[in-house]
Chain A
Amino acid sequence: MLKKSQKTNNSYLIKQLPQATVFVDIRKAIVFVSDKWLYDFDFASSAVIGKSIISLFKNSNMEWQNAISECLKELPNLTLTESHIDANGIKKWYELQSTPWYDENENVIGTILQMKDITVRVLAENKLEKLEVIFEDISEIAEIGFWDYNLAEDKMFWDSRTKAIHEVAEDYSPNFIDSLNFYKLGNSRNTISMTVNKAITHEVPFSEKLQIVTAKGNELRVITSGKPLYKNGKFSGMVGTIQNVNERHLNEEKTHENQRLLRTLIDNLPLGVSIKDLESRRILVNKSEMEFCNVTSEQDIIGKDDFNFFDKSQAEITRKDDLAVMRDLKPILRKEVTHNEGNDEQSTYLISKIPLIDSDEHAYGLVSIRMNISEIKQKELELRKLIDVTSSQNKKLINFAHIVSHNLRSHSANISMLLDFLAAEKSDLERGKLMKMLLKASNNLLETLDNLNEVVHITTNTSLRKKQVKLNTKIAAVKQNLSAELNQHNIKVLNSIRDNVKIRVVPAYIDSILTNFMTNVIKYRSPKRNSFVKLSSSTEENYTVLHIEDNGLGIDLDKYGEKLFGMYKTFHENKDAKGIGLYITKNQIEAMGGKIAVDSTVGKGTTFKIYFNDKD
């Protein structure tokens, strides 16, 4: 036991210790405490002396209670680090140091516990630890290496990642110049030299994207950053990072290249391409589409819809299609659309519209592709015309071949038959008869040949020159030639054609055509009434049309319509009819680029309409 005076003395000394200290006897009751300890744990002096230290902390966190118990096991010089959470929930870290308490005779009479508040240090350590981990992660992921240059020693420190970037061995140790020599000769080397120089003289940090050539000869893109350091106002060194951005750079390059490629591609397509948003406003267009909308710069077209460029009606159709594509998520493919180009010209386009669909299966716009097929259309039209002409000519040719064959065969058959009879005939009288018939057959053959010749001449002679003639002059001449017959049958010619009407014709053909029609009027007049023929003219498209109307016999077009203009077709009991006139007439009219139409009623009369082509 301690003497009373000594005890008081000890108590006073311990009370003033700067560190939180508590003396505990072997029964774990508190004997002495420092004021600091009381302050740290918020106890009153009177409330703790003689009290069990265990009971004092019975409401503390379990870890703390365990640590206290550990410290009271009378082990020599134990140091623990543990946290204490007070009644207010505030957590503080302490370094607990326990030392056995000896009396003068070196007997252990308890434990001296010192508790040092190390909360600030622990928190700082934790933070640093965390930062280090994060830092390591970042530099690994981002491939960032560190370097540190010391001017006094002219030593360049590279961390392992910097070395890895430069592809040098772990023991490689460069000086300042060595490190700069890794930068590629030319722009990169110049830039790093100038930048470093500027950084040192102006005391500014730097960051540059440059190219290095590694020890193994590989070219890499890096971002080098650095900051100059100063000691007593004098440059002392530099620290910085180097980041490998080669892959990123290559990706960026690739992306740029792809963008350029795409742009070049769509700009040079012979198609108008535009990408539109939900409101049908253009987001992207190519050159061809800009030309179509008659704008020269992208600014004039981006963000604008069809209503800005075209008729309301036309724009409405486009908008309707756009909406349908985006609503149904179904493309419109190769829709044929005609477009007014303004200057009276119409163009034909094939338009395809493809919806742009996001990952939620909603449309966010569409791609519109426009192809001008006007030329193809034009060609197609010309081709179709050519086919029509060719097939009609072909039909004519076959028809003509049949006619030739038929007519020549029928006459030669007759001649052959008559010759057979003649060879077998004994009677002179009969032979004379047969000879007469043979002569007739031979004449018929010659006449047929003449007719065919005339037809061939018309069909093959396409080089005949057309001239402009006054229609009335030609009519007057024909009327003059036929005046005897017209007068004889008392046929009135009622001409209402104005004198200035002109037609473009082959003069010889128009004489023949008019003569033939007028002759037909005379031949097929009705004996039951006073005959007349009315002549008039009109204009239809490219044609000047001559109308020839008579009140003659008329013809049943239902029965004979197809054959009216055929060769050797006659329809009336008329001995003068040869069935060649209208065939030749039709050929002549068609050879001049015209056409012919007929309207007739039996017993009433016939109207022919002859179309003279004004253009070609």
Chain B
Amino acid sequence: MIKINSICIIDDDPITVFGMRRMLDTLVTYNTINTFENGKQAIDGIKAMMLAGKEIPEVIFLDINMPIMDGWQFLKEFIALPIKDKVRINIITSSIDSTDAHNWKLYKDKTHHTVTYNHKPIRKQEIAEITKVA
């Protein structure tokens, strides 16, 4: 079993969140797992963790199309945060819009964090591959 301290899932679809958690439970052991319904909640949550001196998530699963603040807006604010450790951000989307793939390449090159781009539906096998410390 892979061991991860802290995992974070950002997605507005409860079924997807349910599925992700269920698959992760069988693949990894973790201390904490946080879920957020949109980018706004997530960035606020992570900022609060930093303020409280809590552990920053090592692996983030990020949806793109979300209300209020979408995945890209979240990513923009997240990479601007003063986080020295390398965080693994796995984008998981059902979008086939080429601008989304283009955006991913832009952000990937802009940050020291690891950013991957994955399509829904995501299988257990893929989750196993992308759920590790960056």
Contacts and interface: CB of A to CB of B under 8 A. Distances in A.
Contact of B94 (A406, A418, A569): A406
A409 interface: yes
Given A405-B96, A559-B73, A441 B15 contact: yes
A199 to B, nearest CB: 101
B97 interface: yes
Interface in A212-230: none
Contacts of A58: none
B80 interface: no
30 contacts: A402-B95, A405-B94, A405-B95, A405-B96, A406-B65, A406-B95, A406-B96, A406-B97, A407-B94, A410-B94, A412-B121, A413-B122, A414-B15, A416-B121, A417-B15, A417-B19, A417-B121, A418-B15, A421-B19, A437-B15, A440-B15, A569-B67, A570-B67, A570-B68, A571-B67, A571-B68, A572-B67, A572-B68, A573-B68, A577-B67
A568 interface: yes
Contact of A402 (B19, B96, B122): B96
A407 B120 CA distance: 11
B16 A414 contact: yes
Interface of A: 402, 405-407, 409-410, 412-414, 416-418, 421, 437, 440-441, 559, 568-573, 577, 579
Given A413-B122, A417-B15, 12 more contacts: A405-B94, A406-B94, A406-B95, A409-B94, A409-B96, A410-B13, A410-B94, A413-B121, A416-B121, A421-B19, A571-B67, A572-B68
Nearest to A566: B65
Contacts of B16: 410, 413-414, 417
A577 B68 CA distance: 11
Interface string B14-25: 011011001000
Contacts of A579: 67
A446 to B, nearest CB: 15
A568 B63 CA distance: 14
A572 B37 CA distance: 12
Interface residues on B, range: 10 to 19
A429 to B, nearest CB: 14
Nearest to A398: B97
Contacts of A409: 94, 96, 120
A563 to B, nearest CB: 8
Nearest to A425: B22
A402 B97 contact: yes
A579 B22 CA distance: 28
Contacts of B94: 405-407, 409-410, 413
B19 A418 contact: yes
Nearest to B95: A406
Contacts of B122: 413, 417
Contacts of A402: 95-97
Nearest to A571: B68
A415 to B, nearest CB: 9
A402 B96 CA distance: 6
A407 B94 CA distance: 8
A421 B22 contact: yes
A441 B121 CA distance: 14
With most chain B CB atoms within 10 A of its CB, the pick from A407, A417, A440, A571 is A417
A325 to B, nearest CB: 53
Nearest to B63: A410
Interface in B1-38: 13, 15-16, 18-19, 22
B67 A414 contact: no
Contacts of B13: 410, 414
Contacts of B73: 559
A402 B64 CA distance: 13
Contacts of A570: 67-68
A568 B12 CA distance: 11
Contacts of A410: 13, 16, 94, 120
A573 B41 CA distance: 10
Contacts of A405: 94-96
A5 B45 CA distance: 177
A14 B5 CA distance: 171
B114 to A, nearest CB: 24
A572 B41 CA distance: 12
Interface in B67-99: 67-68, 73, 93-97
Interface in B28-68: 65, 67-68
Interface in B113-129: 120-122
